[in-house]
């Protein structure tokens, strides 16, 4: 059943990104994140917190889209960048999703990152 809105949330342990082994680190990160996202995250003192937050954001967007009946969007087709005020903005690099508007909230503490997403058809 298709709906005209969807919500999604996700939570992740930051250690998952802090403790990546060197052999799989680059391939894993490049599979999930865009070059711009990696540049942003690694410009921060605690890159793992920002990586985990963006990962949860992508998961939350995927869950919101799935609840609307949309499947098959890959992690690297979702780009989460900050606007000039630091607000996370979602860019969907898939032409099938041009009629969607996304809202995303990201947060993290010492050991967890969390995201909440709302997707609506426009």
Q: What is the CATH number of domain 5-17+31-121?
A: 3.90.470.20
Enter the pTM of the model: 0.92
Task: State CA 31 to chain mean position distance.
Answer: 13
* Cα separation of the two ends of the chain: 18
Separation of alpha carbons 3 and 18, rounded Å:
37
Mean pLDDT by runs of 10 across the 122 residues of the chain is: 85 93 86 95 94 98 93 90 94 85 96 97 88
At 71 the pLDDT is: 85
At 11 the pLDDT is: 98
Where exactly are the structural domains of the chain? Answer: 5-17+31-121
At 32 the pLDDT is: 95
Beta strands in 65-111 (DSSP E): 78-82, 88-92, 100-108
At 67 the pLDDT is: 92
The residues, ordered by sequence, that sit 6+ positions from 15 with a Cβ below 8 Å of its Cβ are 48, 111
């Amino acid at each position: 059943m298709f709906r005209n809105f969807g919500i999604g949330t996700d939570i992740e342990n930051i250690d998952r990104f802090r403790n990546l082994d060197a052999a799989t680190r680059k391939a894993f990160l490049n599979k999930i994140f865009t070059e711009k996202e990696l540049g942003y995250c690694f410009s921060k003192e605690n890159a793992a917190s920002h990586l985990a937050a963006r990962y949860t954001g992508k998961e939350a967007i995927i869950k919101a889209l799935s609840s609307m009946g949309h499947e098959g969007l890959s992690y690297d087709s979702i780009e989460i960048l900050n606007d000039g005020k630091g607000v996370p903005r979602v860019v969907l690099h898939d032409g099938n999703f041009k009629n969607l508007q996304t809202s995303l909230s990201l947060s993290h503490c010492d050991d967890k990152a969390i995201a909440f997403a709302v997707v609506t058809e426009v």
